[in-house]
Each structure stands twice: as structure tokens, then as C-alpha cells.
Structure 1
């Protein structure tokens, strides 16, 4: 038999280096199996690196404990942290897995570059004021703004103060801010197209908030498909929570008792819809097919398991972090926004 090659000694050599001195960019590149130029591009947040190479470099940084060297003057004027400001209630923040997944992706990327991630949850006037004070006193070098509604005052404040800022999702009001989004409208079209191809003709939707672009875009994708098929649209609204999905589904059943399919704009709302359908005696998918959006962990544990649109939440957080780092370093970003792809995950509900 051919002799197998053991790569462990090479990894061990690089880890030994980190123990006796500060690891260099060359050490990171060697451990990741890429060139120093590629490792440098990852460090600078460049978009011209494959996802696989970026992941290898970030893993190598974390394993070696590599911290980017900064000039002494820059060190004294920077906090070494990035703030994620989530403009939702604490109840919503801790109950929706989207936020944990997004922040995990961002934290992993920032940590590999020697930066910390702090998060603030702001919902009322006092919390907004506290967040503004936190930012204005230089407690963070940059900001990731998450779940902004309408004309969010924090976004305007951050832009006016010149704070490097990246928004999660397309801002509802065009303002020139950098943002990273998923293909929400395209994902919704894929979901509804799946239902139509299965022969469903009375397809309703539980849409997200009307003051968020993510809610508007997913509703737009639903409308596009129904209009193209010459079918009427019927819309209920929720706030992405499970309780709101259950309430909206109950109302939709009252308005259209013969409905045969539901596209819910989040998995939590889809889980609530399943509860309402079960209570009404409707079988899923025999009587009513259900498709969600997000591919959160709950989608695998509903009864039946949920067909859904997967969006790369962790990657969205990582891309946001890389953009923030680039803005902090006054480096260019190749695009003013990134729209990440979505895909359909078929399970038993549709």
C-alpha cells in the first residue's frame, strides 16, 4: 500500500513557533496552506478571496493566536473592539436564533484579527441614548447595525459622526451606507415557485414587518410569483416571532378557509403557523403545505420538519465584520453592498 502522508508535524512546527515568539503573517499563511498575499487580503477584508481560503486563514489566525500589528499611535487611539448594535427588544433578541448565528459569524472573524465584539441591544429611548454615548466616547472602532427599522436614528447618528458602519440588510431609506444582505426577494420567489410547482393554487403568506426591507423584499418575491401565475395574493403580517406567526395564520384561515399553502417569511413564524393549522385540524402537508425562511435550527424539529429557504447567516456576519475592518483601516471595499445567495431546503412540510 502507498505510504500515507501525515501533515501533523507541519502543523506542530507552526504551533511551536507561536509558543516561543509572536506568530507572523508567514506562519499564518503556511498553516493555512495559502500565499502570504492571500493571507494579507483576508486580514484586510478584501472580497477577492474564496470562502474556503478565507476560512483556512481565519482558522490559522485563531490557532496561532495571531494579532495584527498596529502602529503605536493607532493603538492608543483605538479601542480594539467592534460594536454590534441590535435595535430590537431583549425578548426578541434572546428568542430569535438569527442574532446568535449572525454574531457568531462576526465574532469568529473579528477574533481572528485580534478584535473583540461587543453587542448592545437597544429598544427604547434611554437605550438609544446610552448606545450613542457608548459610540461617541470611542468605546468601539466600528459598528455593525442589526435589525434597523425604518429611518433608524442610530444610522443617521453614526454616519454624521463618521463612525465606520456596516448595516445588516438593506436600509429601508437609501442613505449610502455599506450593508450586507441576503437575496430575500429571490429566496421568496424560490419558495413560492416550489409551492406552485407542487400544484398549490391558494397560496397565502405571513409577511415580516413593513418597516424593514427584509420584510418588504420577501413579500415582493411572493407577490411576483403570484402575479406571474395569475393568482390572487392574501397577506397576513407578523414580526418574525412564533406568536405573531400563529396569530397571523389564525386570521388567514378565517379569511380564506380553503387555503392550501403558506409561505412564512421566517421559520419562527412558520412554526407558529404549524401550531395554528394543527389546532384547526389541517394536515401538513396533505391539506396545507408550509415553507419558511432562514433554515434556523427549529426548522428541523417542527412537526413535520420544515421546508425552508436557507440564508447564510453566519457568512453574513463574517462579511459584515470584514467590511467593518476594512472601513476602520480606510481600505477600499469592492462593492457598496453584498447580496448573499439563498437556497431551498426541502423537508416534509411542503
Structure 2
């Protein structure tokens, strides 16, 4: 019977424990060029005791950006910045994947190249808000991607995967959750296309399959993970039959022999409650690789879930923000620092790299 603190193999990569740092947007890249920098390296290195770090979402292209001060993985300067982070994590014995991100319609014209409209599967507004560097603004109505542009999107993912390899990452996670581009294509509430990428679910999973084919051309399949949020309505996405939609999506992902499936269980950052007919276990059983569970896990729930075999890895979000030594604290059943919500997004070291470890707290 496995425990939360036992090692596990992810393909040819050994993880020393089953505690994962979830991808967490912190809006602390350099405003000039969306470049990661030394403060980000310190932040990730502090948390290298996790079995696996999954980076904050990183846009695959300028068009893929939806929030101010989020890092990219499409320019030479960004690759160089991320290389300093991966070097710092590896120097502490850690392993780190990058989350590849295209926000689709969840953006604003002020964040887009030349002030253009964001793109999406259809010209349907997300009806949510984003941060433009000055304040929160309503997202802009997108334009529908033309059929001939899909290949460009897939190539952007491929190039981002190459850049991630050059930046020294151990693998990549495809962000297909939380109402961003891939999720928008999957769901019939945001995808009203009448071509080969819309309509029946077999068409709506087409882009997902093409992107995974590109990623697994660059990386061994075991070094590629995928994140879905089947029952979350984050950023205004809806679907008339989520079990059917995500059963198809997970079967499609399973065709590629990916390293792990990462599911947000319930509402993103919210309740774990599921709608009638929803079955996380049934979805998990469609996937042959490692299962990473996410959303609202505390120590007791994480221990029970791994020991019961319901999940192989447990992703922690807010707990890792406030506790750089979270694995140590979980092992010892030690108290956790409380996260400061007002410093989650933007700023400098405060609320980012200044949370004390257990040893520092005892020494104070």
C-alpha cells in the first residue's frame, strides 16, 4: 500500500514523494517581455522538496496571453529566464514541468499584440474578468479562429515544447482546463463551430489530439501530462454533457501514453461538490497512466486518497504558496502557515519568497 511520502516512477523519472506543487499563477514576471527572473528562481527553488513542481501557466505565444505579468515560453529571453529557474530547482534536487498555456478568449485587447481581439473557437465572450496591469477588466469578445489558423496554434504549442526542453524542464503539462483555449474547444457552450473542430464531441477533441501529437513529437510521452477540469465552470465555460465530453477527451489523451492525468475535482479553487451524474473515478479509470488529484486537499484527505489507491499524486496549491517546506510539514503533521490572499497576484518578495520554513519558525 503506497503512502503520500513514497517514491513513484513517472516513466524514467523518479519522484521522491507524491506531493505535487500545483500550477499557480502569481503574476511576477518582468513587465518588459514577460520574462521570468531571479526572484522567480528563488521561489521555485524554495519548493523543490515537492515530488514534482508544475510551473505557473506560461503562454505559448503573445496571442496566448491573458493576464499581465505572466511568463511566456516563446522568446529567447524567456527561455533564458526559465533556464535559471530549472537550474535552481535541479541544484536543490527537484524536478519541474512547465505548464503550457493558451488562454484563448480569456484575454483583453490591451494584452494582445497590436490591440487585436483575443481568439477562441467561436466569437462568444467569456463573460469573466482579467487583470490588465492596472486593474480588473471585462474580457474582450474574441474572434473565431479560422480553419486555416489551427495549424499555426498547433505549431505554437510544438515550438513552446521545444523551448521548454531548451530551458531545462523535466517535462511539460498541457493546460486543457479552467476555461482556456483547449477547454473552450472541448465544450459545446463555447464551441459552436460547424467545421471539423466543432459539433459532435469527436470533432471538439480534434485540436486536443493534434496538440498532444505535437508535444509527444518533442518529448517522450511519459514526460507529458495533461490537466482537465471536467466539472468546473471557471471563466464561463459550460457543457451540456460533461461526462460524455471528458470521457472522449480522456480517451483521446490516453491514446498518446501520457505520463499523468491531472484533474481538478469540482470547481476550480472552490467546492469539491460534483453535479449529479459526475464520476471522477469513472473518468480516472479511462486513463492508463498516473492520476494526479487536485482541489481542496488537506493532509488527512491526501493521505487517505493515496493509501486507498484512488490517486497516485496529490497537487497542493495555496498550501504551497504559504509553505515552501510543505512536504516536511506534511510528514511531521506540523502546523501550516496561512496564505495571504492579498499578495497572491503581483508584487515582489512579500507573500512570495518570505514565508518561513518550519525550522525558521522554531528558531525565531
TM-score scaled by length of structure 1: 0.27
Using structure 2 for the length normalisation, give the TM-score: 0.26
Q: Which has the larger radius of gyration?
A: 1
